[in-house]
Every structure is written in C-alpha cells, then in structure tokens.
C-alpha cells in the first residue's frame, strides 16, 4: 500500500507507524471451522460441525464460556462446560481454541487457592505462573522411576509406626463418612511445615464449609506458604470437578520434575467417580457395574500412576499421593473402593466403630496395610514397632472373649493391660504431631513395659511432657536431630526419658 502525498513538509509519526503495520499485513484467505450447539443440558453440550476437534481440547462458545471435549462421535462431539451453562443454548456457535485444557504451574502458586483452571479463588492478585501445562500428562516410564526409600513423616504414630508411607507412594485413605479421613490428610500436610515437601490439597465436590475448615487448619497450624489449594466444590460445574484431580497432579509434578518433593491429597475420588458417572450417563455411554462406565478404572489408574519417585538421572524428585475414598456401611468390596485399592500401594482403613468408641484416629489396624512404606521406614522405628501390630491384634481378640467372663490368669490380665496401653498410645489428638524420636521413645518404652503401670488417662500427658525431656538430654542430641541406628545405650536413654515424662505427669512408672 502506498502512502498518500502530503503538502506538509513534516510527517506524522503515528501515521507512519500505521502505514508500516499495514505494509506487513499478509492478505489472503483463512478458514475456521465453526460448530453449532445441537443440545445442551446439565453441563454437557452436543456440538456438530467440529469433526476435527481432539479429545481434551478446549472450545469457546459465543458468549465466552469454555468447555473441553469429552467424547468424539461420528457426526458430533460432546463437550463438558467449564463455566455456567447460562447463555449456552441450541444454535449457539462454537469454535476450537486449538489447545488442550491446561493449568498454570510454578512457585507463584504457593500459598494460593485456585480453581482447576488456575483462576484465583482467594482475595489475592492473579497468580504468576512459570508456565502452563496440560492437565492430562503421561505417567513417568518404569525406567525413569526409582525405589521408594525415604519416609513421609505424618506425625501420626499409628501410621508412621505400622503403615509407614514412603516418598513416591500412593496410599489410599478409606472409610465411612465422618470418620476422620480428611483429618488424617490435613494433619499430614501440617506435619510437613518443617520438611522440604510441597503440599497440594485438592478438594473435589466437597461442601464449601468443609473446604474452609481444612484450609484454615493448614493456614493456622502448618506452613501455608508451601501449600497450594485446588478447589472445585460441590457447587462447581461438573467439568471443573472432573478436571480438579488432574490439574492438581500437574501442579504437583512441576515440583517433582525439578528434583523437589511433593505431596498431593485428593479429597475425594469417590465424588470424582460420581461426577464421571454423571457425565458419562448424560453422554449416553454404556453403563456397567453400579452404572459406572467401563473406563472408570482407567480414569483413576492413569491419574494415580503419575505419582512416583524419579530416578537420580531424572532429578530424584518424588510425588506422593494420598487419595481419599468414602464407603457406605463399611462395604470395602464396592466398585470404586476395590478399584482404588487395587491401583494404590496400600490403604489406611478407618473404622466407624473405633471412631464411635473415641479411638482416634480410628485406624483399623487389621484391615490397613502399606505395601511399600516398610522399605522407607526409619530403622530405629522399625526395630521398636515390630511387635506392636501383633500384640494389639491379640489384645483385640482377647477383649472380645473377655466379655463372656473374667480371666483369672495373671498372664492374660497383663496382656490385656499391655494392649490397652497400645490403644491409648496409638490414639492421638488432632494437631499434635509426634517427632520421629518421640515415636521411637514411646514404642521403646512400651516394649520395655515402662508404660504398663501408667494409667490410661495419663498417656496423653506423657506424650506432652516427653519432647522437652528428650530435648534436654545431651546424649540424645545427635539421635534426636537424625534418628539412625539405635544401640542399647540410646534405647535405654529413650526409655528413661519416657519414665521421667510419666513421673512429671504425676504418674510414676514401674
């Protein structure tokens, strides 16, 4: 394009810039496929005319709402809305964005609360992302993984001693409603305030009040500046609830892939499975067992397989997953629970009966298992926790039979008294984590019989007094900072600290 001649001796810089920009415009034809909504209901839209769209690709409606492609059919696609359905109706135009659903990642998310698309839910400024990564990513290959050899210290004695969790493990937390599943996960996050683990808490379909309680507890008791909260509450669109765990995994993988350690809590996958069933039934997919679609196992398998411990060649980072599942009437054989149990590396089963009996955390020692964590457990802790599970299981059996009549045998009475101390020791108040050295000392004292004559109601006082006594023992300084191999002298010193704690609580141990 030629510029018009001007009688003025000078030239206008703005016009010069405009003409220069016009000179560089590439003229030509461009085609863009425009689809049309044929049907929309309950957060799912049927779209025709976009046959070239890909699974997981983002779409934009004429009112600005977005969706992602869930299913591809012969003559149409099915898209799940990520925004309100208002303004999306039959006949509305739809266009492809030529990008997959993604989420912002990076250090700028630490301490923030976002939705699965990275939109801010707290009162802060928009997040400063290092990059945007797809929410659906392949799991690390087997050759890129390493053995699980480092512990994730939860601060909860019954878990660290009996069902230890390793960095890179997937440990399922499962139980009935209101039995303390989220409490265990939140306490584990809080206990990471003095570690190098970055935590990601993902709320899927939870009540807003429950999410607020969990977030407030972490911000008050833990290190919230090293936590990220991804929230898709029960009032959110089904598409956001469906994307939430995948978005959380992508955010956590950013830290793992850079040689750091991350922990992700998925609260909970039962509601995620319900959302997937809802969308699949709306999409008229063939229902299977309990009306869930046939790909429900693959859905959670490809999600949880992304948690792993990477090899040193890949940076040595780890991503530990604590998925949560809810069961009804104690039925562990339901479809979703059995799927998740088979995918994960163990499960912590919570008992409604134990919870009602005020045994909290209400971990069912007989049903729970960790298939990996024993290899990552501290050697000193493993040496003192070896018989606890067996002794406690035998006590539970004896307690059942003792209901039919008293025991005259003094040996059985001592075993029952010992089992009662185990139960009191494994009970733990919320927001009261125990350091590894405190756990080792308590279990060593239990094994030595130093707690057998301490009244049950005094056990909590012993736990409270113990840390200060151990910290004041100069010969335990090195072991306290880095518990390693425990010799007889160290073991005896720890037992003596527990005896002093019992005495300071006003109860003299035998």
Q: Is 164 helix (H, G, I), strand (E, B) or coil?
A: coil
∠ CA 187-170-373, rounded to 5°: 80
Q: Render 265-321 in DSSP notation, one character per residue.
A: EEETHHHHHHHHHHHHHHTTPPB-GGG-BTTHHHHHHHHHTT--BBPGGGT--EEEE
Choice among 226, 302, 371, 430 that is catalytic = 371
CA-CA-CA-CA torsion sign (327, 329, 331, 336): negative
Extract long-range pairs of 107-114: CB within 8 Å, 24+ residues apart. Answer: 109/228, 109/251, 110/198, 110/225, 110/226, 110/227, 110/228, 111/224, 111/225, 111/226, 111/227, 111/228, 112/228, 112/229, 113/215, 113/229, 113/231, 114/228, 114/229, 114/230, 114/231
Q: Angle 335-343/269-282 helices, nearest 10 degrees?
A: 120
Question: How far, in Å, CA of 300 to CA of 337, rounded?
Answer: 11
Spatial separation of the C-alpha atoms in residues 273 and 339, rounded to whole Å: 11
Per the annotation, the verdict on 371 as an active-site residue is yes
Torsion, Cα of 348, 352, 356, 361 (10° steps): 10
Write the DSSP assignment of 436-484 as a string of letters.
Answer: HHHHHHHHHHHHTTTTTTS-GGGHHHHHHHHHHHHHT-GGGHHHHHS--
> Measuring CA to CA, how many Å separate 199 from each of 134, 211, 213, 456?
20, 15, 17, 35
Residues pairing with 199 in the sheet: 227, 263
Nearest CA-CA partner of 93 in 55, 74, 65, 51: 65
Structure-block tokens of residue 357: 């009996």
Do 197 and 371 meet the contact criterion of CB atoms below 8 Å apart?
no
Residue 240, CB-side half-sphere exposure with 13 Å CA sphere: 25
Query: With contact defined as beta carbons under 8 Å apart, do 355 and 179 qualify?
Result: yes
**Cα dihedral 143, 147, 153, 154 sign:** positive
Host H or E run for residue 40: strand 34-41
d(CA 189, CA 185) in angstroms, rounded, equals: 6
Dist. CA 373–CA 304, nearest whole Å: 17
Question: Which residues are catalytic, by number?
Answer: 371
């Amino acid at each position: 394009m030629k510029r018009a001649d001007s009688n003025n001796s000078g030239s206008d810089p703005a016009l010069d810039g405009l003409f220069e920009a016009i000179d560089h415009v590439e003229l030509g034809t461009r085609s863009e496929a425009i689809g049309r909504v044929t049907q929309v209901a309950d957060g799912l839209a049927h779209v025709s005319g976009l046959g070239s769209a890909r699974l997981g690709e983002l779409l934009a409606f004429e009112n600005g709402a977005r969706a992602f492609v869930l299913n591809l059919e012969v003559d149409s696609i099915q898209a799940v809305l990520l925004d309100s359905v208002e303004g999306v109706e039959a006949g509305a135009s739809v266009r492809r964005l030529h990008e997959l659903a993604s989420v912002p990642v990076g250090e700028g998310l630490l301490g923030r609360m976002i939705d699965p698309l990275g939109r801010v839910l707290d009162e802060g400024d928009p997040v400063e992302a290092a990059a945007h990564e797809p929410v659906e990513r392949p799991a690390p290959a087997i050759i890129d993984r390493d053995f699980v050899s480092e512990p994730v210290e939860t601060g909860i004695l019954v878990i660290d001693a009996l069902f230890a969790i390793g960095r890179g493990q997937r440990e399922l937390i499962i139980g009935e409603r209101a039995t303390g599943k989220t409490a265990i996960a939140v306490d584990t996050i809080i206990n990471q305030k003095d570690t190098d683990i970055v935590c990601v808490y993902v709320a899927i379909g939870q009540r807003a009040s429950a999410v607020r309680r969990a977030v407030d507890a972490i911000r008050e008791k833990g290190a919230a500046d090293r936590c990220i909260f991804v929230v898709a509450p029960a009032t959110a669109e089904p598409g956001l609830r469906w994307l939430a765990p995948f978005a959380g995994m992508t955010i956590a993988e950013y830290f793992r892939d850079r040689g750091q350690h991350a922990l992700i809590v998925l609260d909970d996958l039962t509601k995620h499975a319900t959302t997937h069933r809802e969308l699949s039934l709306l999409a008229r997919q063939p229902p299977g067992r309990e009306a869930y679609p046939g790909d429900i196992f693959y859905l959670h398998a490809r999600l949880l397989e992304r948690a792993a411990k990477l090899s040193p060649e890949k940076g040595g980072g780890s991503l530990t997953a604590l998925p949560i599942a809810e069961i009804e009437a104690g039925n562990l054989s339901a479809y979703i629970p059995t799927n998740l149990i088979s995918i994960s590396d163990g499960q912590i089963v919570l008992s409604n009966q134990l919870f009602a009996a005020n045994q909290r955390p209400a971990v069912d020692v007989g049903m729970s298992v960790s298939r990996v964590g024993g290899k990552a457990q501290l050697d000193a802790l493993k040496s003192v926790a070896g018989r606890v599970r067996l002794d406690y299981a035998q006590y539970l059996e004896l307690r059942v039979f003792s209901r039919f009549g008293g025991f005259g045998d003094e040996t059985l009475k001592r075993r029952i008294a010992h089992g009662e101390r185990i139960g009191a020791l494994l009970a733990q108040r919320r927001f009261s984590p125990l350091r590894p050295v405190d756990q080792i000392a308590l279990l060593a004292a239990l094994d030595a019989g130093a707690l057998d004559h301490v009244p049950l109601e005094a056990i909590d006082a012993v736990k409270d007094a113990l840390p200060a006594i151990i910290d004041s023992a100069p010969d335990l300084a090195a072991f306290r900072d880095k518990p390693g191999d425990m010799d007889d002298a160290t073991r005896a010193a720890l037992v003596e600290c527990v005896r002093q704690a019992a005495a300071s609580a006003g109860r003299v141990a035998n």
